[in-house]
Amino acid sequence: MTATLTRGAERLHAAFAGAKAENRAAFIPFMTGGFPSAAGFPAVADALLAHADILEVGIPYSDPLGDGPTIQRASEQALAGGTSTRRTLALIRDLRARHGTPIVVMTYVNPIYAVGPREFMRLAQEAGVDGLILPDLPPDQDLEIADLAAEHGLAVTFLIAPTSTPERVKLVAEACTGFLYAVSVTGVTGTREGSALSEVPAMLVLARQHARVPVAVGFGVKDAATARQVASVADGVVVGSAFIHAVRDGQDVGALAAEIAAGCGR
């Protein structure tokens, strides 16, 4: 791994450092690109960006096998509305014109391969994307993707899970240049009944032995209370499905974001 940080990695690390200086975990809301519609997405993203340290935008995908029903259905709706890979990157470019907050893209690998890895990275760079989160790409599967991302100034984030062995945690942690994403539960995305975060502390002890980047936790964080639990041990808190539910139910997304952001304080 190169010693010099990419532009994206620098911006992401600065966002985590900024939150830490305020004695908070970084707040990282997630929203599916083009949800609830291409026209409706910018307002939702603006509402999240008003409180976010980093915004995570998902490229809607037809076969999101790491996602639960909530994000899966959001993807289906976005695709039906005509948003997909290039369109999501264009939506981010528009956000970039109004916001300086770092933006990372969550995408399955197939859209990257279909557009062409080099072309995809070029478009992402042009849109002002800072990093990529790759839920179905264990870092040892395709070493070229991380190199291409770096060439285009993008940081990469890979995931660990409660099932990860110490060897896997080491391998994944060392491959991350943006932040490390620790999945809180054995399972897919989605909010859960009760608190399912019992495996997080042990996982983070392991992660911190190897990660040279901040460690964020996601999956199943749904409100200020669960955010606070996670914030006490992690550098960042990712919240996704709760915001999709909020958009669906016509709730005030900005107010929910403010509430959960406040929950990220320590």
Partner 1 sequence: MSMFLPAYPQPDARGRFGRFGGRYVPETLIPALDELEEAYLDAKRDPEFLNELERLLREFVGRPSPLYLAQRLTEHAGGAKIYLKREDLNHTGAHKINNCLAQALLAVRMGKRRVIAETGAGQHGVASATAAALLGLECIVYMGAEDIRRQALNVFRMKLLGAEVREVTSGTATLKDATNEAIRDWVTNVRDTFYILGSVVGPHPYPAMVRDFQAVIGEEVKVQLEAVEGRPAPDAVVACVGGGSNAIGIFAPYAYLPEEERPRLIGTEAAGEGVESGKHAASVAGGRIGVLHGSMMYLLNDDEGQIVAAHSVSAGLDYPGIGPEHCHYSETGVAEYVPVTDAQALEALQLLTRLEGIIPALESAHAIYHAVQLAPELGPDGIIVVNLSGRGDKDVAEVMRLLEQERDAGLLDRDPEQLIAEVLA
Among all residues, which ones are annotated catalytic?
56, 67
Phi-psi region of 17 (alpha: psi -120 to 50; beta: other; left: phi over 0): alpha
- Report how far residue 151's alpha carbon sits from residue 121's, in angstroms, rounded to the nearest whole number: 9
| Closest approach of partner 1 to the CB of residue 189, in Å | 10
Q: Which tokens is 117 given?
A: 């890895």
Bridge partners of 96? none
Considering only residues 14, 98, 141, 209, which one is a binding residue for partner 1 as defined by CB under 8 A?
A: 141
Among residues 57 and 188, whose Cβ is nearest to partner 1?
188
How far, rounded to the nearest angstrom, does the alpha carbon of residue 149 sit from its chain's CA centroid? 16
Among residues 20 and 245, whose Cβ is nearest to partner 1?
245
**Would strands 155-157 and 131-133 be described as parallel, antiparallel, or unpaired?**
parallel
Residue 165, interface with partner 1 (CB under 8 A)? yes
Considering only residues 136, 174, 199, 259, which one is a binding residue for partner 1 as defined by CB under 8 A?
A: 136
Q: For partner 1, which stretch binds (CB under 8 A), given 43-51, 71-79, 91-99, 208-216?
A: 71-79
Considering only residues 85, 101, 157, 229, which one is a binding residue for partner 1 as defined by CB under 8 A?
A: 85
Identify whether the C-beta of residue 173 lies closer than 8 Å to the C-beta of residue 210: yes
Among residues 94 and 136, whose Cβ is nearest to partner 1?
136
Among residues 61 and 243, whose Cβ is nearest to partner 1?
61
* Residue type present at position 176: C
- Report how far residue 142's alpha carbon sits from residue 156's, in angstroms, rounded to the nearest whole number: 12
Q: For partner 1, which stretch binds (CB under 8 A), given 8-16, 147-155, 183-191, 247-255?
A: 183-191
| Closest approach of partner 1 to the CB of residue 29, in Å | 21
Residues 96, 98, 100, 102, CA torsion sign: negative
Identify whether the C-beta of residue 65 lies closer than 8 Å to the C-beta of residue 136: yes
How far, rounded to the nearest angstrom, does the alpha carbon of residue 214 sit from its chain's CA centroid? 13
Among residues 49 and 149, whose Cβ is nearest to partner 1?
149
Residue 174, interface with partner 1 (CB under 8 A)? no
- Could you list the residues that contact partner 1 (CB under 8 A)? 61-69, 72-73, 76, 79, 84-86, 108-115, 135-138, 140-141, 158-165, 168, 172, 183, 186-188
